[in-house]
Amino acid sequence: MALTHKNRVKETSTTTGTGTYTLAGAVTGYQSFSAIGDTNTCYYVAEDGTNWEVGTGTYTSAGTTLARTAVLASSNAGAAVNWAAGTRNIFVGVPAEKFAGIGEVALLASGNTFTALQTVTQVAIGGATIGASALAVTGSTLLNEAVGSSALTLTGATQTASFPVINATQTWNNAGVTFTGMLLNVTNTASNTASRLLDVQSGGVTQFYSRADGYAASNAGFFDSSNNSIAMVSVSGLQLGSSAGVKWSSTALWYGSIDLSLFRDAANTSAQRNGANAQTLRVYNTYTDAGNYERLEIAAGASGTTIYQNAAGTGAARSLSVGTLVNNSFNITTNGTGRWSVNGSGNLLAQADNTYDIGASGATRPRRIYLSAGVTTAGGAVFLTTSTALTDGAGAGSGTILNAPAAGNPTKWIGINDNGTTRYIPAW
């Protein structure tokens, strides 16, 4: 059953009372109500020159009748007229209240403006020029959706210039109000988890969608204000453009001041940087809260770069191990040059022969060096160690050491650096 409008439809009827009209045939020069179509509805006017009635009628071809579906106005105070015997005219006409709004009426020309609030059940707009507005509505427009159909379907034209299918504007002018520009509220009593609140397509292919459970997806990534694609989320993960970074706000709100950022410095090179601000990386073994943890800290600052093992509260103090897990060397490098290494056998080696010292004269000397065997110099001399302190006392015998002793007597001399002067101890 559809609301139908036809031109020049007019018949007579001799029906009495307030029941369904039995139609007696078309007036000369007019169409009969059969033009409306079986079971369709239309607006009608019935009058006999004195009494009148305007309403919505339902036409039935069997018996050629027009039921008084709804009486909108009448000479009987808006109720159905109780017709006496006689003949009356019945014809199709648009009620004044429907003509003033957009209600249940087909608009056959463009450029019409309507200001009344009406409920729309059927609107057909034709005769619109491409690129021009076919319908202008001032005020609220309510569309009631019927089961099995869409409440609103917009079919755009083939355009050669930019004319949006939907072009909506609104002005917000109250700082105390949280406005909403567009609202879609779906009552989800039962649906598939993949159901979509929004599906934006191009050429029938989905480019962006938002699901009912809050997930969103895009086929082409996300763009910055310069129309550059800077991010993409796919089954392989989050992919960023080379100049984009991952940034954190200093507050719970995303738009707070940025105080932590991760970037791509170069191929296969990630960076944590924030202008001239020193940065720290923390890797936790355990974390309960800010006062109870165990962690490794790598920090870069004005005084240098540091690596620490740290703990607080219930966190245990752990050792810090630096080295390799395979049979290979651990190297120490300064100024881009390898200086020392510990090889796979555990030996401490200088990476350049006869080049680097341990300690410095009179300033940064180690206090003691504990050895189990001795120290061998490049010339092959071996300095022995003893666990027994040397003391003064009488010798087991006496003798004379000459300034120029004979060869082989004594057999060895031990050299001692006495504050820059080399002195010798005889040994046999």
Residue 248 sits at φ, ψ, to 5 deg, of -120, 145
3-state secondary structure 169-214: CCCCCCCCCCCCCCCCCCCCCCCCCCCEEEEEEECCEEEEEEECCC
Instruction: Give which of 78, 67, 73 is closest to 1, Cα–Cα.
Output: 67
Strand partners, 287: 293
Q: Give the pLDDT score at 237.
A: 79
- The torsion region of residue 135 among left (phi > 0), alpha (psi -120 to 50) and beta comes to beta
DSSP state of 100: H
Query: In whole angstroms, what is the distance from residue 81 CA to residue 63 CA?
Result: 22
140: tokens are: 């609220």
C-alpha to C-alpha distances, 364 to 257, 357, 361, nearest whole angstrom: 46, 11, 7
Beta strands in 212-360 (DSSP E): 216-218, 222-223, 229-234, 237-240, 246-249, 258-266, 269-272, 279-289, 292-301, 304-312, 330-334, 337-342, 348-350
Query: In whole angstroms, what is the distance from residue 83 CA to residue 18 CA?
Result: 7
Q: Give the pLDDT score at 410.
A: 65
Sheet containing 229-234, strands listed edge to edge, beginning at the edge strand earlier in sequence: 222-223, 229-234, 237-240
Beta strands in 78-202 (DSSP E): 88-92, 112-114, 118-120, 135-137, 141-143, 196-202
Q: Which residues, other chains included, contact 401 with Cβ-Cβ below 8 Å and sequence gap of 6+?
A: 426
Q: State the 10-residue block means of pLDDT for the chain, 428 residues long.
A: 89 96 96 95 95 95 95 94 96 79 42 45 44 54 76 84 86 95 91 92 89 83 70 76 90 92 95 95 96 96 93 96 92 95 94 92 86 75 52 45 56 68 72
Provide DSSP, 335-354: TTEEEEEE-TTS-EEESSTT
194: tokens are: 């993949």
Strand partners, 249: 258
Model pTM? 0.50
Residue 33 sits at φ, ψ, to 5 deg, of -70, -5
